[in-house]
Amino acid sequence: MLNWFYSSSVWITMPLFVGAFVLVSCLIVVGLRPVVHRFVDDTKEWDRALAHVIGTFGVFFGILLALVAVSVYENFASTRQATIEEAGDVGALYRATSGLPAEDGEPMRQSLDDYMHAVIEIDFPQQEVGLLPEASDGQVDEFEARLHQIEAQPGDEQAEFNQVLATFDSFIESRRARIEATALALPPLFWLVIWVGAAVNAVLIAFIAVRSARLHLLMAGLLALFIGLVIYVTADMDHPYEGAISVGSGAYERVLEQIIDNPDQ
């Protein structure tokens, strides 16, 4: 079910998700309206008491949705930043190795070229389906092995080598952040609380004593439309590399095109 949700077009999943959300909310209104009219004698007192309940619940449910949405967006933004930093570090490494002797720098640049192709062509497709990528590990190990074999001479060559070492450490950190983000997701308990809150909200709206059924359905439908959209966007961003709102390999493709494939630019 989740694979279908994240792999399908937003123009399919969003109408289905939000439409089903609105439909269920309206069905709850239709089902509970007769119950309210049967058991409620004093509608003014009922609505006054219900207003306090809805107001209190709305505050807590609204805060919960806002905090969850902000948390998911922060995870998404940090993942995107990690990919940008990693791609930038690879570009900086590629240029930094040009200051090393050709017999050392050329094989290292080839490893970086192979690494970028592995990330774009294998790592990201795997991350898009929730799998931890391993295809680019070999290029990283190869680059690190060559890095440790270099015996830099004092002076400019040593300075260039120190720069490569510092950039490599930064690259490893950003790469680890990019890979770890594959498993980022809200705990299931949070989703349980959100869905229970959405159900309670629909029931409370259905409890309002509104004479006009059309007006009641319109109120419930509009509120459900907004809440459904918020939950949909939150769910879509919950996995940073999956869904319509996702982190792609664009930063790596630009570095590969602008720096590695065209080193003279």
Report CA 196 to chain centroid distance, whole Å.
Answer: 23
The SS3 assignment for 2 reads: helix
pLDDT score recorded for residue 1: 52
Cβ count within 10 A of residue 152: 17
pLDDT score recorded for residue 2: 65
Tokens of 259: 């720096």
Distance CA 127, CA 88 (A): 20
Place of tokens 């900086």: 92
Tokens of 61: 């449910």
Spans of the chain, pLDDT less than 50: none
pLDDT score recorded for residue 46: 87
pLDDT score recorded for residue 73: 94
| Domain residue extents for the chain | 2-260
**DSSP letter, residue 97:** G
Place of tokens 């207003």: 51
pLDDT in tens, 218-230: 999 999 999 999 9
The CA dihedral of 10, 12, 18, 24, to the nearest 10 degrees, is: -160
pLDDT score recorded for residue 264: 57
pLDDT score recorded for residue 204: 94
Could you tell me the CA-to-CA distances from 98 to 36, 102, 157 in Å, in that order? 77, 8, 11
Cβ count within 10 A of residue 77: 13
pLDDT in tens, 8-46: 888 899 999 999 999 999 999 999 999 888 888 887 888
